[in-house]
Amino acid sequence: MAAGATYVPIATQTLGSSATSVTFSSILGTYTDLILISFAQGQASGGDNRLVLQFNGDTSTNYSTTYLYGNGTSAMSARDSNRGQVDNVTQIGDSGSSSFSPFIHHIMNYANTTTYKTILQRGNDAGDTTTAYRQVGTSVSLWRSTSAITSIVIKGLGGNSSSGFSAGSTFTLYGISAA
Amino acid sequence: MPILGVIDSGKSGHLAPATGFYSIATQTVGSGGAVSVTFSSIPSTYTHLQIRAIARDGNSSQDGFWLRFNGDSTSGNYYWHELYGNGSSALAYAEAPSTVNFAGQIPSSSQASQIMGASIVDILDYSNVNKAKTIRALGGFDGNGSGQIGLLSGAWNNGNAAISSILIQNSAGVNFSQYTQFALYGIK
């Protein structure tokens, strides 16, 4: 069995000031999976800060997600179908606090042009200023497209409205190549 | 305003390459399907193993896939637990003892043909001969109105043997569909 080093950092972005979104573009198709690791805080007031993804500029209702999460009291599951983005499994930290939220998205077999794309997500929002948003969870999402993913937009939402990410939020994209 | 990330896939010297994560082997199912795949002669030179899978069932009922190590099918040598969500409820399930370690749900053939499940399986300290082996997995699929996501854990206790081969099989004993892929990685 031949082995080769992989898990290659492709690009990283640390926000020096707030931004509505972060884009990774011109992603080459040379890897098998992509891993996006985010450590982010949102700009919306009221606590409902969200981190969502869109691929290749597609804002149509081609996305869906099944969730498993807990809020400290109960374990729950939910589903969103025919959505315009890969939705967040939990909220993220709020502007004005020191809380940032870690998210990891595994974007599987992103460059293949035969199947739809499946995304595994883990995230938590342990330090949210709103108690009800202090959750941990995982989810699986589907993007109903056979196109290879060449760009990823990461958007910061407040509820369903654009609000952005705080300065200091970090986003790093890695590539993994199978043998 | 939008911020463009610094992209390099084609440049050198931008971000340092990773050195601790190695691709070992990949099994891809062809047009005829396959009920199982095997990784054998796994070197013991890594600390942990990871399997990254996309998979789909040839069966019309929803199934999954399981792992068996070193050809061991002894009931009582395997234990596994699952916490999963089906879009409406969070549920738990276990098989202890078992003859396998379950490692993920996959979509059935009744789902749109382009839908694949995904699973990431970590096999910890796989070559240590002083410990029972433990696995954990995150996996599931979404079918835009159906689907399942789960967290799994499993144990294999067979005299603390080092893992040198892994059999991956459809839990219903039917074929995995074409384009199913299992990629094995070693982590130092």
What chain B residue is nearest to A65 in terms of C-alpha separation?
B142
Q: Which pLDDT does position B14 carry in this prediction?
A: 43
DSSP state at residue B176: B
A116-134: average pLDDT: 95
What chain A residue is nearest to B53 in terms of C-alpha separation?
A108
Q: Is residue B140 predicted with pLDDT exceeding 80?
A: yes
Q: Which residues 116-145 of A are in CB contact (within 8 Å) with B? A: 116, 118-120, 122, 138-142, 144
Which residues does chain A have within 8 Å of residue B21's beta carbon, measured at their own beta carbons?
5-7, 176
When pLDDT is cut at 50, 70 and 90, the band that residue B59 belongs to is confident
Residue A56 near chain B (CB below 8 Å): no
Q: Which pLDDT does position B1 carry in this prediction?
A: 46
Q: In what order do the strands lie in the sheet with B181-187?
A: A4-6, B21-28, B181-187, B48-55, B117-124, B133-142, B147-156, B78-85, B90-98
Residue A28 in contact with residue A110, Cβ under 8 Å?
A: no
DSSP state at residue A131: G
B59-71: average pLDDT: 93
Percent share of chain B, pLDDT over 90: 86
Partner residue facing A24 (CB), from B5, B14, B147? B5
Query: Angle CA(A50)–CA(A148)–CA(A178) in degrees, nearest 5?
Result: 95
Enumerate domains of chain A plus CATH numbers.
8-176 (2.60.120)
CATH 3.30.70 holds for B21-187? no
For residues A22-36, one letter each, b for 16 or more C-beta atoms within 10 angstroms of the residue's C-beta and e for the rest, the string is bbbeebeeebbbbbb
When pLDDT is cut at 50, 70 and 90, the band that residue B8 belongs to is very low
When pLDDT is cut at 50, 70 and 90, the band that residue A122 belongs to is very high
When pLDDT is cut at 50, 70 and 90, the band that residue B6 belongs to is very low
Q: Which pLDDT does position B3 carry in this prediction?
A: 53
What chain A residue is nearest to B177 in terms of C-alpha separation?
A115
Note the pLDDT tens digit of each residue in A96-111.
Answer: 899 999 999 999 999 9
**Alpha-carbon distances, residue A174 vs B11, B154, B165 (angstroms):** 14, 28, 28
- Structure tokens of B168? 């991956």
Mean pLDDT taken over chain B: 91
Q: Which pLDDT does position A132 carry in this prediction?
A: 92
When pLDDT is cut at 50, 70 and 90, the band that residue B11 belongs to is very low
- Structure tokens of B116? 């694949």
A24-43: average pLDDT: 97
- Sequence-ordered strand ranges (E) for B36-100: 36-39, 48-55, 63-69, 78-85, 90-98
User: Which residue of B116, B142, B165 is the best one to mutate when testing the A interface, meaning the one whose CB has the most A CBs within 10 A?
Assistant: B142
- Structure tokens of B135? 């696995």
When pLDDT is cut at 50, 70 and 90, the band that residue A4 belongs to is confident
In whole angstroms, give the CA distance from residue B117 to residue B180: 9
Partner residue facing B54 (CB), from A11, A108, A122? A108
In whole angstroms, give the CA distance from residue B84 to residue B101: 16
- Structure tokens of A168? 């200091």
Note the pLDDT tens digit of each residue in A136-178.
Answer: 999 999 999 999 999 999 999 999 999 999 999 999 999 999 9
Residue A37 near chain B (CB below 8 Å): no
Which residues, other chains included, contact A160 with Cβ-Cβ below 8 Å and sequence gap of 6+?
none
Domain boundaries, chain B: 21-187
Mean pLDDT taken over chain A: 95
When pLDDT is cut at 50, 70 and 90, the band that residue A3 belongs to is low
Q: Which pLDDT does position B19 carry in this prediction?
A: 67
Q: Is residue B27 predicted with pLDDT exceeding 60?
A: yes
Q: Which pLDDT does position A45 carry in this prediction?
A: 77
Q: Which of helix, strand or coil describes residue A132?
A: helix
In whole angstroms, give the CA distance from residue B45 to residue B20: 12
Residue B135 in contact with residue B65, Cβ under 8 Å?
A: no
Partner residue facing B23 (CB), from A20, A109, A178? A178
Q: Which residue has the higher pLDDT, A132 or B61?
A: A132
